[in-house]
Structure 1
Amino acid sequence: MKKIVSALVVFVLISCGAKKTAGSAALYEVLTEQSSGGGNIKFFEILTEPNEIKMLQNDPLLADKMKDADINNYNYVILNMGEKNTSGYSIGVEKVEETDKNIIITVKENSPSPDTMVMQMISYPYTVVKVHSKKEIIIK
């Protein structure tokens, strides 16, 4: 029971920082941050073309968070951490900076601390981010 409660607490704490702002307008928005459902390998994918972005609307977790106008005005980024042997892992955005020419996203990977009780289960953490710009995106 402690493992389940610990996992839920970690998930809630991670979910709390869902939106960050730069100045008065938000530069990006985390649409979903999940502990499972991602791919088997670590990858970062930048979606800029409307046909690529439209595929995200098929995901039930994202459908309500995307408007048709967003497809032409924003870029989307999928951050996938790959397969992990336990729960407690997450991937997200540490910071987003805008320059004259591009958007720089710094990714943060979180692992469970050694003294944290985790569930022994395969997990596939991922995060989907909407960037409120059509500038080129650089991922660090």
Structure 2
Amino acid sequence: MRSILLLLSVVFMILAGCGNNASESENESSGGEKMKEKIAFETVEMQNAPKDIQATVQQKWLEKSTFTVPSDEDLYIIITRGEMPTGGYSVHIESIEKIDEELVVSYYYTDPKKDDMVTQAITKPIVIAKVDMTNARVNFKEIQKSAP
């Protein structure tokens, strides 16, 4: 009976050891680091965007928002700032990166300086970026950019 228990203990330790080695090798192969890849994008002016994109943007550009709209074989990434009291306000996309299975859109806002000459009209700052169609989840990340 004692030899059977000893044999079962040895088998259990061997099996448990194999399981641990498999998960360790998976972690080592991934290195615990996320796969990052810069994604090329094209900035599109509102008047040059497809009509379906223009229609969607016109419904949302009065408020601050981030969203995506698929159109044909492209995905449009849109960031609106909402209505601003004058010119000089803008939105910029710093980068789009694929990190594992998601796209991370890093963007920032700029405001006019106190002494800047600006248009005295209500403006609606917006940026539209076009990327190849993807099923990846899109996350928006506002970053702080220091003034030059």
Interval containing the TM-score (normalised by the shorter chain): 0.5 to 0.7
Post-superposition, which runs of at least 4 consecutive aligned residues in structure 1 deviate over 3 A?
none
Higher relative contact order (CA 8 A, sep 6+): 1
**Structure 1 residue 131: Cα displacement:** 1.9
CA distance in structure 1 between the aligned counterparts of 2:111 and 2:131, rounded to whole angstroms: 25
Percent identity reads: 26
Matched residue type, 2:63: I
CA distance in structure 1 between the aligned counterparts of 2:105 and 2:43, rounded to whole angstroms: 12
CA distance in structure 2 between the aligned counterparts of 1:116 and 1:130, rounded to whole angstroms: 31
Higher helix residue share: 2
Q: Which residue of 1 aligns with 2:31?
A: none
Deviation digits for residues 55-109 of structure 1 (CA, Å, limit 9, x no counterpart): xxxxxxxxxxxxxxxx23x311111110000101111201211122011001111
Q: Which residue of 2 aligns with 1:27?
A: 40
CA distance in structure 2 between the aligned counterparts of 1:33 and 1:105, rounded to whole angstroms: 19
**Structure 1 residue 33: Cα displacement:** 6.6
The TM-score, its normalising length taken from structure 2, stands at 0.55
Q: Which residue of 2 aligns with 1:47?
A: 69
Paired residues, number? 92
SS where residue 139 of structure 2 aligns? strand
Gaps of at least 5 residues in structure 1 are 1-21, 54-70
**Matching of residues 110-129 of structure 1 within 5 Å:** 110-129=110-129
CA distance in structure 2 between the aligned counterparts of 1:103 and 1:41, rounded to whole angstroms: 23
The TM-score, its normalising length taken from structure 1, stands at 0.58
CA distance in structure 1 between the aligned counterparts of 2:81 and 2:67, rounded to whole angstroms: 12
| Structure 1 residue 85 corresponds to structure 2 residue 98 | no
Q: CA-atom RMSD, angstroms?
A: 2.2
Q: Which residue of 1 aligns with 2:139?
A: 138
Matched residue type, 1:46: T
SS where residue 27 of structure 1 aligns? coil
Structure having the higher Rg: 2
Contact 1:27 1:133 in 2 (8 A): no
